[in-house]
Structure 1
């Protein structure tokens, strides 16, 4: 520990470049294993000095410092320590300043650190508090994410999408995204068909899925003001089936009525699963279920299920069947206004979880 404390002096921003380089290389080597990360977390001044090195005039030093913080923050327990340390005061603000600086060469690295810091729910809350303290609005993060070519050095800020997904675990953040005056949720919708980057696409779909946990917003999300349903269904749809009759086609959302032969179902199973989970949440209330049935959501899921039967990821198949099981029932059969208002006994919860486990392992 004494050696690490001594090392910290060579990581000071005013130190000679050669000494900072050697010290950073030593720290980077330690971040490659859990023991090294644990040791670094015991000497918070190390991380504090590395944070300052993000502002180093030497771009190589700044890059190495950013890489070190990516590795250090990759461990959720260490990330908590970073956010609690007095040596890391201004951590979130510093990262934001790097991200929003269009001339910054380490902007992508800053978004990766930001993403690491928001993975754990406790840390996520701490980051949200810091954003509010520094008057950094969710709308600003969305703006930066949506600006293609914003950074002059080619940083695409893709990990801002995972930051938004992680932050949307918090109800307070979901309320910001669902603010009807800001129109943030509408800016997310085109990303369900985005082909530019899988990280960006997956992160935004994760945020959309999380926002579907806000039951009070379901009717609005399905209304023409947002019209989220076609955007969720498009990635799950392949070419329009020949066997559909005219009535079935006409009841589909317009965007899904006549899809070309080259239309492909979303290839990433995690993204398919998140979309299906979003649809499951939208089935919570009777009013929303009736809209999904009216829009022939079942037909899209039925065709998806035909494909999903042959896929390796059983979780996607199970998620698809969960939505189908709800939609094929009549409301008289369901006899529940809101699924979330049902108090399921613990022994039944365990039974259902065990059934799912057997299904996935079959």
Structure 2
């Protein structure tokens, strides 16, 4: 005899929509407390849930909440992330300007992006809504959704903040890192330059996802000249401003800093999330892998900012990251790189990298 919970799971496929909505709503807590119940009969309940994402708005909302919880499980994650028709539906729905569950779809994509095969998103194509002003590349559409859709500007029911976590996980793949660093033909813009402006955004989710996307992209060492160039990505102001507070520096120190950091308001605050501060400092350290990067950071007087960050942020991870960067900036060195030292710095940061970036 099936248990009451098993019967409830069975009701998600009931022909009566009123029964489906009640069943899916009541099953949301069990997707956290008893997820195994959804893996019965070779994941048949998960198959039904994927279908319900196409159902009425409220049923789809409940089904998405359950799928977001269940895709923390590697078996369910692979089952969902390899369903081509389901992915096609998710991407077509999320870009629609009136999709009521767009943010839940973004949260689900944040989980699906952890699956190694998600790097295939780079090859996905679909027609873009005219309102989005994008091309047929799905990643470009997600990027434009993220930029144009903040605070309900594209879809009144969505802010698309969780797409930042999608980008962060996708940027762990070399081919997608290269996408973020290459000018796109439809608008002539490097995608990472669209993201960098959000390192001081009010949304904790946006800031965290963008910080990690930039850091992951910075593992592409050959692209560092573009990162540092004022005419290309020009990333340094967007890494230094979030880790800078309202402290005052000596005139001599200030005069050498980037213009953006010379006249900060008295109420300037560092990022409230110490994990973001650590991430930005680690990205700066990655950018010292080349001699050009080290010399530029010395020239623009990055050291005093890191010194104050180390002093004022009471967090072991931040202080360790600052120590590593200071050791690089303050050392005496020959005019040539020591490749083994550069490789060691990158290795240290890779080992520290948080594989579980997102919990949704």
Question: Does the CA-based 8 Å contact 2:124-2:138 persist in structure 1?
Answer: no
Whether 1:49 and 2:48 are equivalent positions in the alignment is: yes
Give matches, 1:262-281, under 5 Å: 262-281=267-286
Query: Residues of 2 paired with 1:210 and 1:63: CA distance?
Result: 32
The aligned counterpart of 2:161 is 158
Rate the CA distance shift 1:118–1:151 in 2: closer, same or farther, 3 A. same
The aligned counterpart of 1:75 is 73
The aligned counterpart of 1:239 is 246
Query: Residues of 2 paired with 1:278 and 1:92: CA distance?
Result: 32
Rate the CA distance shift 1:283–1:25 in 2: closer, same or farther, 3 A. same
For residue 193 of structure 1, give the secondary structure of its aligned residue in structure 2. Answer: coil
Query: Residues of 2 paired with 1:38 and 1:280: CA distance?
Result: 43
Match of 1:315 among 314, 317, 325: 317
The aligned counterpart of 2:147 is 146
How far the C-alpha of 1:169 sits from its partner, in A, is: 0.8
Query: Residues of 2 paired with 1:276 and 1:254: CA distance?
Result: 19
The aligned counterpart of 1:100 is 95
Rate the CA distance shift 1:187–1:144 in 2: closer, same or farther, 3 A. same
Query: Residues of 2 paired with 1:278 and 1:110: CA distance?
Result: 29
Give matches, 1:253-332, under 5 Å: 253-308=258-313, 311=314, 313-332=315-334
Deviates most, 39-48 or 287-296: 39-48
Whether 1:109 and 2:111 are equivalent positions in the alignment is: no
Whether 1:207 and 2:220 are equivalent positions in the alignment is: no
What does the per-residue CA deviation read over 1:87-108, in whole Å, with 9 as the maximum and x for residues that have no partner? x442322222222111111111
The aligned counterpart of 1:359 is none
Query: Residues of 1 paired with 2:333 and 2:174: CA distance?
Result: 29
For residue 32 of structure 1, give the secondary structure of its aligned residue in structure 2. Answer: helix
The aligned counterpart of 1:118 is 113
Whether 1:61 and 2:59 are equivalent positions in the alignment is: yes
What does the per-residue CA deviation read over 1:230-262, in whole Å, with 9 as the maximum and x for residues that have no partner? 1100111122524x133x222111101122211
How far the C-alpha of 1:117 sits from its partner, in A, is: 1.6
TM-score under structure 1 normalisation? 0.82
What does the per-residue CA deviation read over 1:22-64, in whole Å, with 9 as the maximum and x for residues that have no partner? 432454343122xx3234234323212212212213x221211
Match of 1:192 among 194, 199, 224: 199
How far the C-alpha of 1:68 sits from its partner, in A, is: 1.4
Whether 1:171 and 2:174 are equivalent positions in the alignment is: yes
The aligned counterpart of 1:356 is none
The aligned counterpart of 1:180 is 183
What does the per-residue CA deviation read over 1:301-324, in whole Å, with 9 as the maximum and x for residues that have no partner? 11212213xx1x211111111101
Can you give the 5+ residue segments of structure 1 that lack an aligned partner in the other structure? 354-362
What does the per-residue CA deviation read over 1:105-150, in whole Å, with 9 as the maximum and x for residues that have no partner? 111111111111223xxx1x32232552445432221100011324
For residue 334 of structure 2, give the secondary structure of its aligned residue in structure 1. Answer: helix
Rate the CA distance shift 1:194–1:174 in 2: closer, same or farther, 3 A. same
Query: Residues of 2 paired with 1:60 and 1:94: CA distance?
Result: 17
Query: Residues of 2 paired with 1:238 and 1:334: CA distance?
Result: 34
What does the per-residue CA deviation read over 1:263-320, in whole Å, with 9 as the maximum and x for residues that have no partner? 1111111110110110111111112111111111111111212213xx1x21111111
Question: Does the CA-based 8 Å contact 2:12-2:49 persist in structure 1?
Answer: yes
The aligned counterpart of 2:354 is none
The aligned counterpart of 1:360 is none
Question: Does the CA-based 8 Å contact 2:53-2:63 persist in structure 1?
Answer: yes
How far the C-alpha of 1:339 sits from its partner, in A, is: 3.1
